[in-house]
Structures are given as structure tokens and as C-alpha cells.
């Protein structure tokens, strides 16, 4: 019995800090988007393409979550956008206290949009709210079209699903209509975008959606 209580209290503690983060971000007028995906699906690539595309339209800040290294934060820093790397020390997801610490290191008053790259996997990040307005799952074409079946919690948590690497569709057997049907089956309210960070195809729809969030912060 006490063990169950500890787990519940841990989740409640996370939710309480997530609510604080959400309040803090709302006070500063910052919309936060939590990007979740498998390793290598293109989270950092999409952040970099988004920063380019929103140049002059939104003031962006980035939190990079990884188990180790600061490679992704270094890539983002080359754009001049403020970025904080969070290393989880092996942990498989970001949590709200980690994001709270990162927020202290970001110039929130000079930001409109916070992009949070979660740790790469399709399981753990789904269960931990961070204070974000929107949850985005990026699924990439080489991973296969069956992921909503195998990782339903992740797709249920998503406000938006981005299918990335669509430039590779001619070379792989990813069935886009079947994938869309699976997403619709587990989460009918999720919006689906198709993108390529290689050719820029579909990026403008994604970027316009992000830009529109600032008019109606969640």
C-alpha cells in the first residue's frame, strides 16, 4: 500500500510543478510545445527548420532533452536562438521539475514560443506533463506505419502528429493512408502534418499551425 502511494505522490508532484510551469509560461505570454518521438525521427531537424521558417515572426526558445551530451543544443545554438540542454542522466523522459530549472535559464520575457525536444522514445515521455500547451508526436517514415498500434499512449497524448521524412516515401513501404487511419483510430482529435526536413515539403502548414498557436495560447 505505501508503495502505491509513493508512485501516486510522485506523479502528483510532477503534475503540480507542470501546473506551475504552465502558469509561469502563460504569465510571460510564452506558448510551449512538447516534441516527442523515437530517436532519430527528426526532432532537432524540425526545430532547426522551424526556427528558420519562423524567423522574424516569432521569438523562439528551445529546451533540449537528452540522456547525455549537448550535441543537439550546440546545433540549435548556431541559429542564435536561446537554448538550454537538459541531461537526464540516463532517464528516459523529461519531467516538469527539469523543465522548471531550464525555464530559469531562458529569457522568457523575450520569447513567444518554447520548443521542448523530449528524450527520444515513444513510451516514457507520454506520461509526464511539463507545462506545455501542445503535445506533438513526430513519426518518421523509416520507422514504419504501425507505431500508433504499438505505442497508443503516445498517440493518445498527441494534439498533433507530424509524419517526417516524407521525401523517403518512394523508397519505403510506409502506407500513409493506413497510418492516418491508425492515428484516427486511437486519437480522432489529433491533427496530422506531413513534412520533410530535407526538401521542406509540408513545412509551411506545420509552421503556420505553430504560428497560429500564439494567437490562442492553450
Ligand X SMILES: Nc1nc2c(ncn2[C@@H]2O[C@H](COP(=O)(O)OP(=O)(O)OP(=O)(O)O)[C@@H](O)[C@H]2O)c(=O)[nH]1
Q: Which of 20, 167, 175, 211 binds ligand X (CB under 6 A)?
A: 167
- Give the residues lining the site for Mg ion (CB under 5 A): 43-44, 72
86 neighbors 43 (Cβ within 8 angstroms) = no
From Mg ion, ligand X, none, which one binds at residue 37 (CB under 5 to 8 Å depending on kind)?
Answer: ligand X
Show the binding pattern over residues 50-79: x = contacts ligand X (CB under 6 A), - = does not. Answer: ----------------------x-------
CA atoms within 13 A on the CB side of 167: 9
- 34: contact with ligand X by CB under 6 A: no
Show the binding pattern over residues 78-117: x = contacts ligand X (CB under 6 A), - = does not. Answer: ----------------------------------------
Ramachandran region, residue 144 (left: φ > 0; alpha: ψ -120 to 50; beta: rest) = left
d(CA 178, CA 149): 11
CB of residue 165 to Mg ion, shortest distance in Å: 14
Residue with Cβ nearer ligand X (56 or 90)? 90
159 neighbors 36 (Cβ within 8 angstroms) = no
Q: Which of 116, 197, 207, 210 binds ligand X (CB under 6 A)?
A: 197
- 165: contact with ligand X by CB under 6 A: yes
The stretch near ligand X (CB under 6 A) out of 89-97, 123-131, 148-156, 164-172 is 164-172
- 147: contact with ligand X by CB under 6 A: no
From ligand X, Mg ion, none, which one binds at residue 118 (CB under 5 to 8 Å depending on kind)?
Answer: none
Running DSSP on this structure, what letter comes out for residue 126? G
From ligand X, Mg ion, none, which one binds at residue 58 (CB under 5 to 8 Å depending on kind)?
Answer: none
**Buried b / exposed e along 62-72 (16+ C-beta atoms within 10 A):** bbbbbeeebeb
217 neighbors 184 (Cβ within 8 angstroms) = no
Residue with Cβ nearer ligand X (41 or 182)? 41
d(CA 75, CA 5): 41
What sign does the CA torsion over 207, 126, 114, 78 have? negative
Amino acid at each position: 500500500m505505501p508503495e502505491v502511494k509513493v508512485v501516486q505522490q510522485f506523479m502528483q508532484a510532477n503534475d503540480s510543478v507542470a501546473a506551475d510551469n504552465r502558469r509561469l509560461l502563460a504569465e510571460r505570454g510564452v506558448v510551449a510545445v512538447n516534441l516527442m518521438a523515437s530517436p532519430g525521427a527528426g526532432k532537432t531537424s524540425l526545430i532547426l527548420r522551424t526556427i528558420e521558417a519562423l524567423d522574424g515572426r516569432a521569438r523562439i526558445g528551445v529546451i533540449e532533452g537528452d540522456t547525455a551530451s549537448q550535441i543537439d543544443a550546440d546545433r540549435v545554438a548556431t541559429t542564435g536562438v536561446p537554448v538550454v540542454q537538459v541531461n537526464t542522466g540516463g532517464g528516459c523522459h523529461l519531467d516538469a521539475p527539469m523543465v522548471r530549472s531550464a525555464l530559469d535559464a531562458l529569457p522568457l520575457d523575450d520569447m513567444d514560443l518554447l520548443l521542448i525536444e523530449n528524450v527520444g522514445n515513444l513510451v516514457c515521455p507520454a506520461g509526464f506533463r511539463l507545462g506545455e500547451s501542445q503535445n506533438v508526436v513526430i513519426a518518421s517514415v523509416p520507422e514504419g506505419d504501425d507505431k500508433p498500434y504499438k505505442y497508443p499512449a503516445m498517440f493518445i497524448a498527441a494534439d498533433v502528429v507530424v509524419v517526417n521524412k516524407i521525401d523517403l516515401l518512394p523508397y519505403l513501404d510506409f502506407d500513409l493512408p493506413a497510418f492516418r487511419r491508425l492515428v484516427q483510430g486511437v486519437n480522432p482529435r489529433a491533427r496530422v502534418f506531413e513534412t520533410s526536413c530535407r526538401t521542406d515539403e509540408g513545412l509551411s502548414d506545420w509552421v503556420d499551425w505553430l504560428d497560429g498557436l500564439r494567437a490562442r495560447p492553450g
